[in-house]
């Protein structure tokens, strides 16, 4: 039996916010829910995300993960 990524993703569809909150940042899913951005995004093109109903959203959080790390020369 091989690794079946599509089946694994299908089995966990909709679990992204709960898993993100549990393992990465417990506050971000709460913030996204508060501002109404707790959608299940189906695809992305450039700086835009599209939900399962086809609505388009500008992705203003795209740099959130990388900008928190900062740069150091030490």
Threshold 0.85, pTM exceeds: no
pLDDT average, residue stretch 18-44: 89
| pLDDT surpasses 80 at 45 | yes
Answer whether residue 29 is part of any domain.
yes
Domain co-membership, 30 together with 48: no
Neighbours of 59 (CB within 10 A): 15
Residue 56 has pLDDT above 90, yes or no: yes
Q: For tokens 């993703």, what's the residue?
A: 9
Do 34 and 45 lie in a common domain? no
Residue 59, pLDDT above cutoff 80: yes
14: alpha, beta or left? (left if phi > 0; alpha if psi -120 to 50): left
Domain boundaries, position 16: 7-38
pLDDT at 5 over 60: yes
Q: Mean pLDDT across the stretch 44-61?
A: 88
User: Do 48 and 26 share a domain, yes or no?
Assistant: no
Count of structural domains within the chain: 2
Q: In what order do the strands lie in the sheet with 41-45?
A: 41-45, 48-51, 56-58
Q: Are residues 69 and 45 in the same domain?
A: yes
């Amino acid at each position: 039996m091989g690794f079946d990524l599509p089946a694994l993703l299908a089995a966990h569809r909709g679990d992204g916010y709960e898993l993100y909150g549990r393992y990465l940042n417990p506050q971000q899913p709460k913030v996204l829910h508060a501002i109404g951005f707790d959608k299940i995004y189906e695809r992305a093109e450039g700086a835009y995300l599209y939900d399962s109903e086809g609505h388009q959203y500008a992705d203003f959080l795209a740099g959130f993960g990388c900008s928190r790390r900062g740069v150091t020369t030490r």
